Structure 1
Amino acid sequence: MKKIFLIIGLIILLGGCNVNSDNKIEDEINVDKAKENVESYLFNNFEDVKSVEIKDIYIDPMGGIAVDGTVNGHAKYTAGIESDLRVSNMAVGDDFPNRKEECKERRCD
């Protein structure tokens, strides 16, 4: 009987380790995709964006992905990322570039 419990415990332990490593790989892919989407969103929706720097990516208090960074070396932003890894909202600093005219009413991708 002890052997059965030992074998079952070992299977559960090894199975749990495997799931964790798969999630880590998926998280790395999601982070890379989120970075690409934020950069694309900023270049496509705002005027005079010459460079985009991503300083931090983290899980926000609501469980979503948040990206902090700067545009053109100084204008700060925080982007909220939806579960499909698209930008859902932006919080920008005072000196952030203006939104392109054609992108004020709709999202430019």
Structure 2
Amino acid sequence: MKSTAAVFLLVFILGCNATSSTETFDKQTIEKAREHVESYFRHNYKNADKITFSDDTSDPMEGLIINGTVNGAEFSASVEPETFVVKSVGETEGFPDVKEECRDTVCDYE
């Protein structure tokens, strides 16, 4: 019984440490990531006209997530905080289509 309680306590403590250690990023890093995400959308998607960003940059895996909308459709972009490379994008219905020339390979962006 004691060993079960000890294992439970150990898992609980480790779980708390894992969830409380989310990294936060300074305003300059977030702004630069937003610039790269905007460039990514403008270079890789058709008619990415109106891009807005939300304040939420949380990621349970301790990365940098940029959230917002493109033409009113929501997105969530995972960005490498050291190089500002867009690693992946989650899109909702109504999101602009990818440009034909950018379907197989990501088109250049800044």
Q: So what's the TM-score if we normalise by structure 1?
A: 0.71
TM-superposed deviation, 1:57: 3.8
What value does the CA root-mean-square deviation take over the aligned residues? 1.6
How many residues align? The count is 84
CA distance in 1 between partners of 2:106 and 2:87 (Å): 10
TM-superposed deviation, 1:40: 0.4
Secondary structure at 1:39's aligned position in 2?
helix
Q: Larger RCO: Structure 1 or Structure 2 (Cα < 8 Å, ≥ 6 residues apart)?
A: 2
Greater share of residues in helix: 1
Q: Superposition pairs for residues 1-109 of structure 1, below 5 Å?
A: 27-72=26-71, 74-83=72-81, 84-108=83-107, 109=109
Whose Rg is larger?
A: 1
Greater share of residues in strand: 1
Percent of paired sites with the same residue: 35
CA distance in 2 between partners of 1:67 and 1:106 (Å): 22
Question: Which consecutive segments of 4 or more residues in structure 1 shift more than 3 A?
Answer: none
Q: So what's the TM-score if we normalise by structure 2?
A: 0.70
